Amino acid sequence: MSLKLEKIPNYPGPKGPVVLVIMDGVGIGKYEEGDYVRSANKPNLDHLLATCPHTVLKAHGTAVGMPSDEDMGNSEIGHNAIGCGRVYDQGASLVAKAVASGALYQGATWKKMVANVIDHSSTLHFIGLFSDGNVHSHIDHLKGMLAQAKKEGVARARIHPLLDGRDVPPTSALDYVLPFEQFLADLNADGTVDYAIASGGGRMKVTMDRYEADWRMVELGWKTHVRGEGQLYPSAQAAIEALRAATPGVLDQDLPSFVIGRDGKPLGPIVDHDSVILFNFRGDRAIELTRAFEDADFKPFDRGPRPDVLFAGMMQYDGDANIPKHFLVEPPRITRTIGEYLADAGQRQLAISETQKFGHVTYFFNGNRAEKFNDDLEDYVEIPSDRVPFEERPWMKSAEITDALLVAIASGKYKFIRVNYPNGDMVGHTGIFPAVKIAVEAVDLALGRLMPAIQKAGGILVISADHGNSDDMYEHDKTGAVKIHKATGLPKAKTAHSLNPVPAIIYDPANAAKAKLTDKQGLGISSLAATCLNLLGYKSPEGYDSSLVEIGG
């Protein structure tokens, strides 16, 4: 299929750039209570919604490649969909199908992992997010692999769960740990296997850093999972209960690391000849631990003696960098992204965000590709994120991002610019309500600075989001009533992404495109790619999902 873009007759595109603004985690709430987008002071966003063509887009479930519409979207698959202009089956769907069909167990990597531990009478380890949120992982995939490992004669397995509380209720760890402990007890009942939890911790404290924002998290994970260093507890339940008692009100995602002990020794350190499976299917929070296991020349921290193990990821997290070398399920191969089309057309592009979402507007937006399509035509700008809790600085780097954007817009250098403001998502995950409100307001301030710059440059703003979060901060029961925390009398915080749609706004102050919204209903965020191309003066590529606009209307 050709990469050549066709021009729209009689429309040369705007004088200035088309700027795609992704307000991460800013959706359109279903409930008034707990919707901190609705309650925020956001005069600029309100003005845009009152005066500009706008619509709502689906950003979860099948609209972004997830198995069902009960599955929330996330930033990775959201940026995949936005960048490539159509919907691919994503990690959750691909892995679920591979596990259900048994195809995963027929693959060469699974066979190598099992053969390795049987040949050496060693241990099969599983590290990953202990959750059914279907964002980074799913506990059913882990259970399926453990059951299959027993069938194939693996005598010893150790599990290193990373507690969620982010894509699932914030203090639900025991709702997963206790049934899982019973699942392991059932596997162990006949005495042929020894399967047990060996270590763990909260996902925002241990192991699951991303974009090299804080390697200390990965170093702690290495010490915890690999070396078995840390305070010993008799069980995961005992560890969670003790850590919660030590820090009342702590969320699962922030629980410190723990190690399970037996006879005064760690139950499951990782040693030579073991096999290790990182069962997260999403790449951003898996790459750094993978590098710690695989890189020969590794500098971020002192690993000490690196065990000689066979390591595999659930999927390949970076195909260009070959990370990891071994993986269980093939990731989607995404081609013909908007970035690739524009590079082929000779158009200059800029991608910008702060560290927390930099990979989203580059790697994920480009279809899980780390490299640029054309080094001469593409610029990437990463604003380093602060290493402080997001609720303590909810404005994050929105001002610095906007400073750089204003320079880029005024330069006349770029025809297409894409930017992610992470505030609504990253602060939304904290469950700290006043901070979430400030986060949304910080993004609104940024929009207020961008609008006059776009007007002066003769450009067009396309404003949307990759999924919701800040729009749904309270837990609700089936009737829609807010759940109240018994101890505090306050609403229970919801820290996961929402299932809500997101806005899509076209700000074209010069009316260069004379754009009219399409009458098509039920569109998703994958339609943003064709929309941006149309506004730039190009026809939608074959196979792209429908544009939101008709040019010259």
Q: Is 3 buried (19+), middle (13-18) or exposed (0-12) by CB count in 10 A?
A: middle
Label residues 257-284 b or e (16+ Cβ within 10 Å = b): bbbbbeeeebbbbbbeebbbbbbbbbbb
The single residue of 39, 75, 122, 398 carrying the catalytic annotation is 75
The alpha carbon dihedral of 152, 157, 160, 161 has a sign of positive
Under a CB-based contact definition with an 8 Å cutoff, are residues 52 and 44 in contact?
no
| Residue carrying structure tokens 């930017």 | 419
Q: How far apart are CA 59 and CA 57, in angstroms?
A: 6
Query: What angle, 0 to 180 degrees and rounded to 10, lies between the N-to-C axes of helices 398-411 and 433-457?
Result: 10
Label residues 193-229 b or e (16+ Cβ within 10 Å = b): bebbbbbbbbbbbbbbbbbebbbebbbbbbbbbbbbb
Concerning whether 75 is annotated as a catalytic residue, the answer is: yes
Bond into 324 cis (ω within 30) = yes
DSSP 204: T
Under a CB-based contact definition with an 8 Å cutoff, are residues 548 and 55 in contact?
yes
SS3 446: helix
Q: How far apart are CA 207 and CA 201, in angstroms?
A: 9
Under a CB-based contact definition with an 8 Å cutoff, are residues 105 and 146 in contact?
no
Element (H, E) at 450: helix 433-457
Q: Nearest-CA neighbor of 418 among 335, 342, 334, 522?
A: 342
SS3 126: strand
Q: How far apart are CA 207 and CA 216, in angstroms?
A: 8
Q: How far apart are CA 339 and CA 336, in angstroms?
A: 8
Under a CB-based contact definition with an 8 Å cutoff, are residues 384 and 355 in contact?
yes
**Catalytic site positions:** 75
